[in-house]
Chain A
Amino acid sequence: DTEVTQTPKHLVMGMTNKKSLKCEQHMGHRAMYWYKQKAKKPPELMFVYSYEKLSINESVPSRFSPECPNSSLLNLHLHALQPEDSALYLCASSQEGLQHYEQYFGPGTRLTVT
């Protein structure tokens, strides 16, 4: 099973709202990722968690706040977003360690900021 689940599928929020995106995997993977994808573009890495610790932050604005409560869950907390933050937000996971490179993506959350 290589399933990564994400909720919600769609989210519409105003610029003053606070919302959260959720991601879950039960493959025993210890690395989890958040990507942002704009239309007709490749996924753009935002954050990487390794063994529940934030290991990479690709200079993402503080209005995006990641959280990894345990090895199976990954959240992305959103606050005071801008219309240009509208995009598909993808979660992915992979095993950690040498030779374990395969990343598996979830279906994404389609976010619209109004």
Chain B
Amino acid sequence: GENVEQHPSTLSVQEGDSAVIKCTYSDSASNYFPWYKQELGKGPQLIIDIRSNVGEKKDQRIAVTLNKTAKHFSLHITETQPEDSAVYFCAALNSGYSTLTFGKGTMLLVSP
């Protein structure tokens, strides 16, 4: 089955800095990669996703890049703000199913 590795497990940045979270996946047939943000006491919120026919996607301050050859994808957050503090999960769609395999999560702390 699919295996997703996520790094780092924790990330501390100063407000205004950029943050990058990286994930690798094992199944070369995976074709969909979402990112979720989970704030304390809440459910995961889909913030951006990318499909395997695209190399990069942006939405305001967040962007995701995908390298299919290397089987890795990354989340980039620019001009970080304290409200970006949360746990971020990457995931990969299991080929042949409609299920997701999640990475272990990254706790992002943005200090004012």
Question: Which residues of A pack against B, CB within 8 Å?
Answer: 2, 4, 6, 31, 33, 40-43, 45, 48, 50, 56, 90, 94, 96, 101-108, 110
Interface mask (B4-45 → A, CB under 8 Å = 1, otherwise 0): 000000000000000000000000000010101000011111
Q: Which residue in B34, B36, B43, B97 is a CB contact (below 8 Å) of A108?
A: B43
Instruction: Give the CA-CA distance A1 to B32 in the complex, in Å.
Output: 22
- Docked complex: B76-104 residues within 8 A CB-CB of A: 89, 93, 97-100, 102-104
Which residue of chain A lies nearest to B90 when distances are taken between CB atoms in the complex?
A: A42
Asked whether A102 and B46 contact (CB < 8 A) given A41-B104, A48-B98, A94-B98, the answer is yes
Asked whether A90 and B32 contact (CB < 8 A) given A40-B105, A42-B103, A101-B98, the answer is no
List the count of A-B residue pairs having beta carbons below 8 Å apart.
50
Instruction: Give the CA-CA distance A2 to B49 in the complex, in Å.
Output: 15
Nearest 4 A/B pairs, CB to CB: A42-B102, A105-B43, A101-B32, A107-B43
A-B contact pairs, 22 of them (CB 8 A): A4-B43, A6-B43, A33-B99, A40-B105, A41-B105, A42-B89, A42-B103, A42-B105, A43-B44, A45-B100, A48-B99, A56-B99, A96-B98, A101-B34, A102-B49, A103-B46, A103-B100, A105-B46, A107-B42, A107-B43, A108-B42, A110-B41
B102, A56: Cβ atoms under 8 Å?
no
Instruction: Give the CA-CA distance A31 to B98 in the complex, in Å.
Output: 9
Residues of B close to A43: CB separation below 8 A: 44, 89, 102
Instruction: Give the CA-CA distance A45 to B36 in the complex, in Å.
Output: 15
Residues of B close to A90: CB separation below 8 A: 43-44
A45, B99: Cβ atoms under 8 Å?
yes
Instruction: Give the CA-CA distance A96 to B97 in the complex, in Å.
Output: 11
Instruction: Give the CA-CA distance A40 to B89 in the complex, in Å.
Output: 11
Which residue of chain B lies nearest to A101 when distances are taken between CB atoms in the complex?
A: B32
